[in-house]
Structure 1
């Protein structure tokens, strides 16, 4: 049986289970099926985003970002209801010059790591320096022909977010960041996982820690962890913060759902676990056909819905040896992509078509990919490709990884691009751990489907972080005019006033098409009737605020 048919069979079984459970809900609902236990039993949260590592120095994926803020502290953090970051491990942080190039933070004096060590300004400096040092090591080894390819250090951490740092200094309890250029978004970077503070005595400078041990000072301590299975978190009795966040009182177990060996997707497994009653909170992604049928008024569970900040993109490797290095190829692909069909056929209308790198809800949102390409016909594109000296059909590989709809999505894009004879696309599936390493390491995919979760709630997380020096999607794209516009937005503290420059960046991105936006997510979280806090569980930066959850 083809794998796609097998998945339909599983979804059918899940759908049948849904009906049984909702009927049961009339007489007590799925709570009847929930496991028993005392009042101190953990709150069980299910997610389809498993972290690749628990070391923030090597983490640049949604699974890690979702979990790590629960285990580590940063100098700043985000709290529900506020768009601007607030102090966390710091007493205060501020720019000390009008040029926005010197950022100074005063560290609290009552912080300890989970191993009992004091949190010091030197630990903060070390945490930033090691990220940049690991990125430098990877770059040096990549350029060294004397090191065999299989022995080269491959790095997939958040160094791109820190690319604007010139130096980090300490002055007793103060940490001073000297920036290469004005950057109004730097406080947002500090508040994210890239700014997580680690114990300099417990982490190596040039190698990410891979043993699953966490030494942090966040609201939780890690009591047990099995990669791709679960993380057990206990409240940290020594947690202190300037943010006003209350220390959690209950343990939490996060269950990770990943692609099964039998081909069952992570989303399907999560849906099954939810209906078996083994989860208190469903914070992951479930199959689109299931999500389309969720009854928002069902009394047996809680539902929190919001416009998501996550976007899905088709990214291109623009290096000279790539099959999509020519701009004409990427522009033709951008013109052929039918987002309505992707959202409808592959995603069952559980997402919104997106024609901009900057999603709805952010300053600078427009529709440049629609405005520039919506009325271009196939023959016009054919002429442009031939004029660029290309042989038709243009051949390239399209890689994708996890997600129930990812296979259908890749197949739909392949069909759209190959209709008309302009392209010949080979579609390849790769396991997530392999996929993400190849995207950010050897970079040997021509094109790839990726989700993008903003590093912080600002348009720059979709423009500068993707198109700028940090090259967040590893496309290799650089454009001096875009760099100048990015610099202008970074120098403007009033983000609304920067909207015009953001729109111009977006338009130039559409012109060169190193990245093609496909859709914007809808965020849905399900929770048991005895759980509070699901409305504020998810942040705009992808963090799971597990400390917001409690049991009634």
Structure 2
């Protein structure tokens, strides 16, 4: 697919005033009292994706990190992880033993940032809007178990589920359930551009050049009524084209914090020899990387080819050579630190086992070398991605079983092409919506899945996913969770590669860096402060 370089006319009209709202990007921003946070995430409004910050469309970590500052959800993930707690709601609970009816009561006096009242009808509108729009790149699949939303008075919302779903409170903590105003969002149409209106701890103004956001300024919302306690009045999120330039800005004091994404080399250097006034903060992380397959594509349609790839890849060598201590090999879609994890791929194929790969191809009558292109995105997951795919190519070609080439494209081109099935094999990452094994399996295996994959397993879809969601005690879901991981290892619609760790780099005088990103990679700007502050 050719890259769409022009912004839609409607989008351009929305972006023009944003330029004057924030001024120039010159200087550190510190003079205005803002804490400046650097990121290599790119935010682009294109013809294929004109509404990057509409909660009915946004479904990537970067966009969600903007929405989490500006939109409230009924529930939220606590700063240290764990079960969700009320945010816009004062309390929420299942009202039945079958986990099919969930009731939430809003906090009293709720308002949007512009002062308009926020009621149960706005909650109902917001969630029904995501389902009605059902954007092909959006998060509507997270709400697939929802049957209908009811309101009782101005403060009570009742969710009726199609099937039992003990993970539903987690889903209400994601931007898929972000609350927007009925006055400012169309019920059946995306809101183009970079404008966001909500009731979260901050309001946001965007500075845009061409079709890309270069800076977002978050200012404390005086009408915020949730339980978060912002430790600052203003934060600026500034985008950089690469981690090297971002690192220089941190070292020079032009920015205060770096969240996403430090390169493996930077992490190594900051660990061993941090510049004066800069510290590296390691944080728990659940990010995973994997190769996905279009199982209808001729190159990988034969399951034996995908199985042979699973056997041939040496994850340990890949991680050591490219990522060092910032990652670890992964042998399941479910990370090792999440309850229910099993090393299904290692148990079945080992690691870097060329002989097993050869046996699988020979038994299936597959002619070798198998020609295959591995596609990856050049600008979405950090500077290590190109080196990672170079290493994968070298490993696979060294077996003489594969003839691999690699192709990199910018995210704005890569993601639409992947979704429409242009790639036989492609590299993606997953930052979980919530820290439950369900969220590392269902988004890849359900009918309306994140990948748009043609792969379907009826046992997984009709039995194992529903069975795993019945258990309020998540340890009781382990048998179904484990069986799904083993099925994935057998069929290989996805090939897990590694699990990442998280790091934040911050200058001296910045407090709260250790809480600024939680275990599911939520950016929590409200935790950042300057100097000693309560």
User: If the TM-score is normalised by the length of the shorter chain, which range does it land in?
Assistant: 0.7 to 0.9
Q: CA deviation at 1:214?
A: 1.1
SS of aligned partner of 2:467? helix
- Indicate the residue corresponding to 2:228 in structure 1: 245
Q: 2:292 matched to 1:315?
A: yes
* Superposed CA offset, 1:341-387 (max 9, x none): 21122224421111121112210122111111017854553453354
- Higher mean alpha-carbon deviation, 460-469 vs 527-536, is at 460-469
Map 1:204-243 → 2, pairs under 5 A: 204-226=186-208, 227-241=212-226
Give 2:476's match in structure 1, choosing from 487, 491, 497: 497
Q: CA deviation at 1:90?
A: 1.2
Map 1:407-418 → 2, pairs under 5 A: 407-418=386-397
Q: CA deviation at 1:438?
A: 2.5
Q: Contact (CA 8 Å) 2:250, 2:507: kept in 1 or not?
A: no
Map 1:161-310 → 2, pairs under 5 A: 161-172=142-153, 173-226=155-208, 227-241=212-226, 244-258=227-241, 266-295=242-271, 300-310=277-287
What is the CA–CA distance in structure 2 between the aligned matches of 1:120 and 1:285, rounded to whole Å?
38
Residues 86 and 51 (structure 1 numbering): CA distance in 2 closer, same or farther, change over 3 Å? farther
What is the CA–CA distance in structure 2 between the aligned matches of 1:179 and 1:438, rounded to whole Å?
33
Map 1:266-415 → 2, pairs under 5 A: 266-295=242-271, 300-318=277-295, 320-374=296-350, 377-378=353-354, 380-401=356-377, 402=379, 403-415=382-394
Residues 538 and 77 (structure 1 numbering): CA distance in 2 closer, same or farther, change over 3 Å? same
Q: C-alpha root-mean-square deviation of aligned residues, in Å?
A: 2.1
What is the CA–CA distance in structure 2 between the aligned matches of 1:131 and 1:250, rounded to whole Å?
31
Q: CA deviation at 1:276?
A: 2.3
Q: Contact (CA 8 Å) 1:307, 1:521: kept in 2 or not?
A: no
Q: CA deviation at 1:293?
A: 2.2
SS of aligned partner of 2:287? strand
What is the CA–CA distance in structure 2 between the aligned matches of 1:492 and 1:461, rounded to whole Å?
15
Q: 2:426 matched to 1:448?
A: yes
- Indicate the residue corresponding to 2:4 in structure 1: none
What is the CA–CA distance in structure 1 between the aligned matches of 2:69 and 2:352, rounded to whole Å?
48
SS of aligned partner of 2:283? strand
SS of aligned partner of 2:172? helix
- Indicate the residue corresponding to 2:38 in structure 1: 46
What is the CA–CA distance in structure 1 between the aligned matches of 2:39 and 2:398, rounded to whole Å?
36
Q: 2:507 matched to 1:515?
A: no
What is the CA–CA distance in structure 1 between the aligned matches of 2:113 and 2:245, rounded to whole Å?
33
Residues 479 and 184 (structure 1 numbering): CA distance in 2 closer, same or farther, change over 3 Å? same
What is the CA–CA distance in structure 1 between the aligned matches of 2:491 and 2:269, rounded to whole Å?
38
- Higher mean alpha-carbon deviation, 76-85 vs 231-240, is at 76-85
- Indicate the residue corresponding to 2:504 in structure 1: 525
* Superposed CA offset, 1:166-186 (max 9, x none): 222222222221212111111
What is the CA–CA distance in structure 2 between the aligned matches of 1:168 and 1:286, rounded to whole Å?
42
What is the CA–CA distance in structure 1 between the aligned matches of 2:273 and 2:396, rounded to whole Å?
40
Q: Contact (CA 8 Å) 2:28, 2:255: kept in 1 or not?
A: no
* Superposed CA offset, 1:375-402 (max 9, x none): 7854553453354354333233321012
Q: CA deviation at 1:164?
A: 1.4
What is the CA–CA distance in structure 1 between the aligned matches of 2:281 and 2:354, rounded to whole Å?
43
* Superposed CA offset, 1:162-215 (max 9, x none): 111122222222222121211111100000111101112211233322221111
Residues 529 and 436 (structure 1 numbering): CA distance in 2 closer, same or farther, change over 3 Å? same
- Indicate the residue corresponding to 1:86 in structure 2: 85
- Indicate the residue corresponding to 1:98 in structure 2: 97
SS of aligned partner of 2:163? coil
* Superposed CA offset, 1:145-171 (max 9, x none): xxxxxxxxxx31111111111222222
- Indicate the residue corresponding to 1:438 in structure 2: 417
What is the CA–CA distance in structure 1 between the aligned matches of 2:373 and 2:432, rounded to whole Å?
26
Equivalenced residue count is 489
Q: CA deviation at 1:297?
A: 8.1
SS of aligned partner of 1:496? helix
* Superposed CA offset, 1:280-303 (max 9, x none): 111122221221122368563333
Residues 323 and 176 (structure 1 numbering): CA distance in 2 closer, same or farther, change over 3 Å? farther
What is the CA–CA distance in structure 2 between the aligned matches of 1:71 and 1:521, rounded to whole Å?
27
SS of aligned partner of 1:396? strand
Residues 429 and 95 (structure 1 numbering): CA distance in 2 closer, same or farther, change over 3 Å? same
Q: Contact (CA 8 Å) 2:206, 2:213: kept in 1 or not?
A: no
Q: Contact (CA 8 Å) 2:29, 2:36: kept in 1 or not?
A: no
- Indicate the residue corresponding to 2:22 in structure 1: none
Q: Contact (CA 8 Å) 2:92, 2:104: kept in 1 or not?
A: yes
Q: Contact (CA 8 Å) 2:73, 2:174: kept in 1 or not?
A: yes
Q: CA deviation at 1:61?
A: 0.6
TM-score, length basis structure 1: 0.84
TM-score, length basis structure 2: 0.87
Q: CA deviation at 1:83?
A: 0.6
- Higher mean alpha-carbon deviation, 168-177 vs 363-372, is at 168-177
